[in-house]
């Protein structure tokens, strides 16, 4: 039930922010204190990225910015002008699932699902970094994503499965 988005009424200090989000160019006009997270959620209708703390303490807002996993809550959108952003909505082609998404479902790697977009985006970033080989290393490098439901073991199981598959391919 996406509807048109409201423009903020106080536009006097707004500045153009051009982003490529999930492959689509987005031209926004934002005040400089709008975070990348709010730019996605409130100004672009992309609510898949979650706000769990808004202060860099939970990882729920993790997106991939210019190829790297970052926290969108601590990023000012203006500062990311020109960046390519991938959110949970854009990690797989429409109608298809990323291997991690499939593995998360199969391993029941979530309960409430609120940390899930951040966990998956973070895991994609982690696999691209290529620094985590063992389970212990994966756990350490995924520790920036909190899960309050306690799906931790299932999350790591899902990631290990996909990581091992991609190593063998």
Partner 1 sequence: MEPYKSQIGQPVSRLEGHLKVTGTARYAGDYSVPGLLYGYVINSTITKGKIISFDTSRAKALPGVLEVFTHENRPSLAWFDLQYADMDAPPGSPFRPLQDADILYNGQPIGLVVAETFELARYAATLMDIEYEEEAFDTDLRSQQHLARSPKIGMATMLKPLPPKPKGNFEKAFNASPNQVSAEFFHGTEHHNPLELFATTTVYEGKGKLTIYDKTQGTINSQMYVANIFGLKFKNVRVISPYVGGAFGSALRPQYQLFLSVMAALKLERSVLVTLDRHQMFTFGHRPPTVQRTRFSADNNGIITALNHLAIGETSRFEDYTEVVVNWSHMLYPAANTLMQYKLVELDVYSPLDMRAPGGVTGMHAIESTIDELAHKSKIDPLQLRLTNYTEIDVSLNRPYSSKELRECYLQGAEKFGWDKRNPEPRSMRRGNKLVGYGMATGIWEANQLPAKAEAILTGDGKLKINSAVTDIGTGTLTVMTQIAADELGLPVEDVEFAYGDSKKPFAPIQGGSFTVSTVGSAVKAVGAAMRKKLFSIAKKMKGGVFDGADLKDVSFEGGRVFITNDRSRSVSFQEIIAANDNKPVKLSKFSVPSILKLKKYSRAAHSAVFVEVEVDEELGVINVTRAVTAVAAGKIINPKTARSQILGGMIWGISKALREETIQDDGLGKYMNQNLSEYHIPVHADIHELDVIFVDEKDTVVNELGTKGVGEIGIVGMPPAITNAIFNATGKRINQLPIHFDMLL
Partner 2 sequence: MNNFTYKRAESIEDALAQNNSGGNSSYLAGGTNLVDLMKYDLTRPDSLVDLNRVDGHHEIYETPEGGLLLGAFVTNADTAWHPIVEERYPLLSKAILAGASAQIRNMATNGGNLLQRTRCYYFYDANVPCNKREPGSGCSAIPGYNRIMAILGTSESCIAVFPSDMCVGLAALDATVHVEGPTGSRSIPFADFHRLPGDTPEIDNTLLPGEIITGIELPANGFSKNYSYLKLRDRNSYAFALVSVATGLELDGNVIREARIALGGVAHKPWRVREAEEFLAGKTADAASFGQAAEIILRGAVGFPHNAFKIELAKRAIVRNCMMALDPESQLPGAQPSV
Please report, as ranges, the residues that interact with partner 2 according to CB under 8 A.
13, 15, 31-33, 35, 54-56, 59, 62, 68-71, 74-76, 78-79, 122, 125-126, 129, 131, 134, 136-137, 139-146
Torsion angles phi and psi, residue 18, rounded to 5: -105, 125
Q: Whose structure tokens read 């940390």?
A: 115
Residues 70, 168: Cα–Cα separation, whole Å: 28
Shortest distance in whole angstroms from residue 131 CB to partner 1: 15
- For residue 119, give every residue at least 6 positions away whose Cβ sits within 8 Å of its Cβ, in sequence order, or none: 59, 62, 104, 109, 110, 142, 145, 147, 155
Instruction: Give the one entry of partner 2, partner 1, none that residue 160 binds, where binding means its C-beta sits below a cut-off of 5 to 8 angstroms depending on kind.
Output: none
Which residue lies nearer to partner 1 by CB, 7 or 66?
7
Which of 86, 151, 162, 163 touches partner 1 by CB under 8 A? 151
Instruction: Give the one entry of partner 1, partner 2, none that residue 131 binds, where binding means its C-beta sits below a cut-off of 5 to 8 angstroms depending on kind.
Output: partner 2
Element (H, E) at 17: strand 15-21
Q: Whose structure tokens read 């031209």?
A: 27
Q: Running DSSP on this structure, what letter comes out for residue 80?
A: G
Which residues would be at the binding site for partner 1 (CB under 8 A)? 1-6, 8-10, 31, 33-34, 38, 41-42, 45-58, 60, 87-89, 92, 97, 101, 104-106, 108, 110-117, 120, 136, 138-140, 142-156
């Amino acid at each position: 039930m996406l509807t048109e988005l409201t423009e903020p009424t106080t536009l006097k200090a707004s500045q153009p922010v051009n982003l490529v989000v999930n492959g689509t160019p987005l031209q926004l006009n934002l005040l400089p204190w709008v975070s990348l997270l709010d730019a996605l959620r409130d100004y672009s209708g992309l609510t898949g990225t979650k706000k769990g703390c808004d202060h860099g303490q939970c990882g729920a807002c993790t997106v991939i910015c210019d190829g790297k996993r970052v926290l969108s809550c601590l990023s000012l959108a203006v500062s990311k002008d020109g960046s390519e952003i991938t959110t949970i909505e854009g990690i797989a082609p429409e109608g298809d699932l990323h291997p991690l998404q499939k593995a998360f479902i199969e391993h029941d790697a979530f309960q409430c699902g609120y940390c899930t977009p951040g966990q998956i985006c973070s895991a994609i970033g982690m696999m691209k970094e290529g620094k985590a080989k063992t389970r212990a290393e994966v756990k350490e490098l995924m520790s920036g994503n909190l899960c309050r439901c306690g799906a931790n073991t299932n999350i790591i199981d899902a990631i290990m499965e996909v990581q091992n598959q991609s190593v063998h391919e």
